[in-house]
């Protein structure tokens, strides 16, 4: 029925096409198959299309530009690279990824020997890069939530990846072509994306987490805004 409706709309050669969750009612396998077809059709016809969805994978797979709305508020507009690499709001981080972005709340920035670190209520210490440090000082931000994608955390060190956190294995979830490892660091659960062939370790085993300072996303605790977007 949806295909018939779409065909009827395209026959009229519209200047603008609005698709309101056109494949939301379908099962996951069929949605995955139809996403590239919808993108191919849009490119073929050249019709400007507004496509609404609650599934970020649909938005990433189809759209040239994405507008993120939350409870009627415009949070961010940009390419999928913009949305993923520089989420403008803490809420966006929570919406993206399986598993979604780790959000470590309530950190306070402190400078020690010229280097800024964020100290959280759970006793974690997260280093800040120079650009973030300058921004925090410019805006006099007192409390910060730290975000990091599970895919940006490594279990081994190499190059710019430095040991930042140490915890113990809490649980492992196999997710087909990848997995999700939950690590308990003090009272905080940090989730790490692993390859499908990840060699499982025992629950309770100590483990180090490595990531780059530039891969962290810092949000003002009060407003939820990414510090890079604060005016």
- CATH architecture of the domain formed by 102-229: Beta Barrel (2.40)
Q: Give, in words, the CATH class of 2-95.
A: alpha beta
pLDDT digits (tens, 9 = 90+) for 48-101: 999 999 999 999 999 999 999 999 999 999 999 999 999 999 999 999 988 999
Model confidence band, residue 174 (pLDDT cutoffs 50, 70, 90): confident
* pLDDT reading at 132 higher than 70: yes
In this structure, are residues 124 and 104 in contact, taking their beta carbons and an 8 Å threshold? yes
- 3-state secondary structure (DSSP) of residue 213: helix
Nearest to 127 by CA among 149, 110, 106: 110
In the chain, CATH 2.40.50.140 sits at 102-229
pTM, full prediction: 0.88
């Amino acid at each position: 029925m949806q295909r018939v409706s779409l065909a009827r709309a395209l026959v009229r050669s519209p200047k603008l096409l609005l698709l309101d969750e056109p494949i939301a009612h379908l099962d996951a396998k069929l949605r995955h198959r139809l996403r590239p077809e919808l993108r191919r059709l849009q490119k073929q016809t050249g019709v400007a299309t507004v496509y609404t969805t609650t599934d970020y994978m649909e938005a990433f797979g189809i759209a040239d530009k994405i507008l993120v709305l939350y409870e009627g508020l415009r949070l961010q507009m940009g390419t999928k690279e913009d949305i993923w690499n520089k989420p403008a709001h803490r809420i966006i981080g929570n919406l993206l990824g399986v598993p979604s972005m780790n959000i470590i709340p309530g950190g306070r920035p402190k400078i020690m020997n010229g280097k800024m670190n964020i100290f959280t209520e759970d006793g974690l210490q997260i280093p800040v890069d120079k650009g973030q440090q300058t921004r925090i000082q410019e805006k006099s931000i007192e409390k910060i939530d730290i975000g990091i994608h599970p895919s940006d955390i490594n279990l081994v060190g190499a190059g710019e990846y430095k040991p930042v956190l140490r915890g113990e294995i809490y649980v492992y979830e196999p997710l087909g072509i990848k997995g999700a490892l939950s690590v308990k660091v003090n009272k905080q659960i940090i989730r790490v994306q692993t390859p499908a062939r990840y060699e499982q370790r025992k629950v309770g085993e100590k483990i180090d987490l490595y990531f780059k300072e530039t891969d962290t996303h810092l949000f003002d605790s009060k407003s939820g805004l990414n510090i890079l977007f604060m005016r």
